[in-house]
Amino acid sequence: MIGTDDPTISPHLKAYLRRENGPTVVGIIGEGSSRELTALWESPFENDTPGSMFAKLGGIVQAGALEGVGVEGGMTSKSILNTTQVWSGTTPHNFNLVLEFYAVSDAYNAVQAALIELEKMAAPEINEKTPGGRIPQSVTIRVGKQIIYPECVITSVSRDLDGPISVDGYPLRGTVNLQLQTQTTVNQSDIASTFG
């Protein structure tokens, strides 16, 4: 394990990330960390009305320009059916993890090595001239003692570059913003199991 595995901090406040061939990175869950599930709904019938074929005539009726010839103004050709939402999919779960790292004794393993490993988790290993390189491996994340996902991809790693430095030149503290997604949409029946 690398990162901040401070025994005085509850495991409920730590996040653990691991790829298949690498160490486990432990960080303290920071303020602003979140989990998001987005369902995609749309109104495909919104513009499908009898008046849509005769848009100008429908507008004239709605504006009340024909009231003098027996056509009441303020009418619409839309109905409740036009506003019906249709499910078109659900995105994979998204995670915004803010991880805090700090050194209690060993600045390299507690901060620097953890930052390096997180960037390695998001990076590919491609060949210089020929195809056949490797895409980034999926990672397993555990947030606290509850949220567990075995196959996630890291889409963004952002870290600060300022802060105190040890006499060896390693950062004593560091904050990393990680954006992760599950590799697939998670079924309703599987969501409870992701909470440990």
Q: What is the pLDDT of residues 117-130, one digit of tens each?
A: 999 999 999 998 88
DSSP string, 146-163: TEEEEEEEEEEEEE---S
Q: Are residues 78 and 102 in the same domain?
A: no
Q: What is the mean pLDDT of residues 69-78?
A: 56
Domain count, the chain: 2
Question: Which residue has tokens 């599930």?
Answer: 37
Q: Are residues 79 and 56 in the same domain?
A: yes
The H or E element spanning position 100 is strand 94-102
Q: Are residues 66 and 160 in the same domain?
A: no
Q: Are residues 95 and 25 in the same domain?
A: yes
Q: Are residues 75 and 103 in the same domain?
A: no
Paired tokens of 20: 């298949």
- Whether residue 62 has pLDDT greater than 60: no
Q: Are residues 110 and 72 in the same domain?
A: no
CB of 32 within 8 A of CB of 96? yes
Dihedral angle of Cα 138, 185, 12, 196, to the nearest 10 degrees: -100
Average pLDDT, the chain: 84
Model-level pTM greater than 0.85? no
Q: Are residues 99 and 70 in the same domain?
A: no
Q: Are residues 72 and 129 in the same domain?
A: no
Q: How far is CA 130 from CA 126, 133, 150, in A?
A: 9, 8, 31
Q: Are residues 103 and 140 in the same domain?
A: yes
Q: What is the pLDDT of residues 114-171, one digit of tens each?
A: 999 999 999 999 998 888 889 999 999 999 888 888 889 999 999 988 888 888 889 9
Q: Are residues 52 and 142 in the same domain?
A: no
Q: Are residues 57 and 118 in the same domain?
A: no
CB of 144 within 8 A of CB of 12? yes
Helix (H, G, I), strand (E, B) or coil at 117: helix
Give me the domain span that covers residue 179.
2-38+91-195
Write down which residue in 88, 106, 124 finishes a domain: 88
CB of 99 within 8 A of CB of 28? yes
Q: Are residues 82 and 102 in the same domain?
A: no
